[in-house]
Amino acid sequence: MSETESSRDYADVVLVAPVTLPYTRHSIRTAHWFAAQALSRLVKSSGLTKADIDGMSLGSFTLTPDTAIGLTQHLGISLRWLDHIPLGGASGIVALRRALRAVQAGDAEVVACIGADTNYLDSFRQSLGNFSVFARDAVLPYGSGGPNASFAFLTSYYMREYGATREDFGKLCVAQRENALTYPHALFKKQLTLQEYLDARLIADPLRLFDCVMPCAGAEAFLVMQRRRAEALGLPYVTVRSTSERHNAFPDDPIQMRGGWVQDREHLYSSAGIEPSDVDFLQTYDDYPVMSLIQIEDLGFCAKGEGPEFIRRHSFSADGSFPLNTSGGQLSVGQAGCAAGFLGLVESIRQLSGRNLARPVPEARFAMVAGFGMITYDRGLCSAAAVLGKADT
C-alpha cells in the first residue's frame, strides 16, 4: 500500500442547496425529467438563475441512450464544465470530488451535482442484463438473482466468519426505519418490528425482504461553489474536510469482506483533522445491511469482525448513540439508481446546514458519508467517502 500524498484542502469551496425530489416506486417519467426537476429546485433553493450554473456533474443509469451532454440541450443550459459519472452508489462522492476541484481551479463557478434516475415497471429486470459484460457472462446465467444474490453470498459469509446474526442486521433495519419515520420523503412510512423483519419472505438465503433495497425513481442534488459566493448569497453551506475514492481495491480477496476505505481511511481522517470519535453521524451506502457493517468497520469505527458487537452496543437513531443513516437510508427511503449515491450526502448537507427534513442530530459538527457501487461481477468496485463539516468548523 503506497503512501497517499497529502492533497490540497477544500477550505475555499462549499456545498449548498440540498435538494431531494420525492421518490416514487415506479414512474412513467424519464430520467431527463427527474434531472430537470432537480435542477429547477436547485435554482429555486439557491436564488440563482439557470444561467448562473456553469457546470454540471450528472450521475444516471437510465438517461440512456443520452448522456449528460444530451441533457444540456433538453434543459437549455450552456455550460463550461460537464461531467457524467455512471458509478452508481459512488456517483455522489465522486461527483463531489470532481466538482470541488473544478470550482477551486476556476474551471467553473457553480457546479450542479445531480443524481437522477427513473424506474419504469420493467427497468430493474432490464438493467440486470445490461449492467456489465461480466454480469452477463458470469452472473446472470446463474439464477438471475441480481444484487440480492451477490449480497446473500456476502451476508452468509460474514455471518459465518464473524458471528453476526439475523437479529444484528434486523436491528440496523429497524433503527433506520425509525429514522425514516421522521423523514417526509421516505417510501416506507410504516414502523418495522424486528419480528416482521425476521419473518419476511425469503429473497435469497439468508436475505429476506427487508434486507433488500427497493428500486425506485427519484433525484438528489446540491451545488458546489466558492465559500465567498455562498456567503454573498446568504446561503447556508457545509464544508468538505476530506474525501477519498478507490476503485477495484483488494482484487485478490476471495470475497469482498472489506472495501477500498481500508486503504484510504488514514488519509481521510488525517486530512480532515479529526478522529473517528469526532464523527457525529455516519451515512453508509446501505443497499444491504451487511454493507453498513463493513463500512462501519472499514471507516475505523470498530475493528474488522467487531461489527456485530458494535451493532448490539448502539441505537443508531438521530438522537441516540451513533446516529446512522439519519433519513432512513436507502433501506427505508428507496434506491433511486445513481441518486442513491447522493442520498447520504444530501441528507448530511441538510443536517449540517440546519435545513433538516428528518430528525436533527443534536449539535452535529462532522459527518462521514460513504459511497459504494458497481458490482460488475462478484464485488462492488467503487468505494468512496467524504467528511463534511458544519460551516463554522
> Which residues of this chain interact with other proteins, rule CB under 8 A?
124-125, 128-129, 133-134, 136-146, 148-149, 152-154, 156-157, 160, 201-207, 251, 254-255, 377-378
**Which DSSP category does 324 fall into?**
B
Nearer to other proteins, 203 or 294 (CB): 203
Least CB distance to other proteins at residue 200 (A): 11
Least CB distance to other proteins at residue 122 (A): 10
Nearer to other proteins, 131 or 342 (CB): 131
* Phi (first) and psi of residue 42, to 5 degrees: -60, -45
Least CB distance to other proteins at residue 350 (A): 34
Query: What are the grid coordinates assigned to 231, written together?
Result: 456567503
Say how many CA atoms lie within 13 Å of 244 toward its Cβ.
29
Q: Exposure of 149 by Cβ count < 10 A (0-12 exposed, 13-18 middle, 19+ buried)?
A: middle
CA 185 – CA 171 distance, rounded (Å): 22
Nearest to 341 by CA among 271, 303, 289, 284: 284
Nearer to other proteins, 33 or 153 (CB): 153
Least CB distance to other proteins at residue 62 (A): 16
Nearer to other proteins, 75 or 200 (CB): 200
First to last CA, the chain: 31
Nearer to other proteins, 135 or 262 (CB): 135
Residue given cell 458497481 in the structure block: 374
Nearest to 347 by CA among 195, 234, 221, 200: 221
Query: What are the grid coordinates assigned to 162, written together?
Result: 464473524
Return the amino acid letter for 229: R
**Which DSSP category does 32 fall into?**
H
Nearer to other proteins, 12 or 253 (CB): 253
Query: What are the grid coordinates assigned to 238, written together?
Result: 457545509
Nearer to other proteins, 66 or 168 (CB): 168
Least CB distance to other proteins at residue 135 (A): 9
Least CB distance to other proteins at residue 128 (A): 5
Nearer to other proteins, 207 or 219 (CB): 207
Identify the three-state secondary structure at position 99.
Answer: helix
Nearest to 8 by CA among 225, 264, 271, 370: 271
Instruction: Locate all alpha helices (DSSP H) within 273-364, ordered by sequence.
Output: 289-298, 307-313, 329-333, 340-352
Least CB distance to other proteins at residue 129 (A): 7
Residue 341 near residue 286 (C-beta atoms within 8 A): no
Least CB distance to other proteins at residue 259 (A): 16
Give CA 49 to chain center in angstroms.
Answer: 27
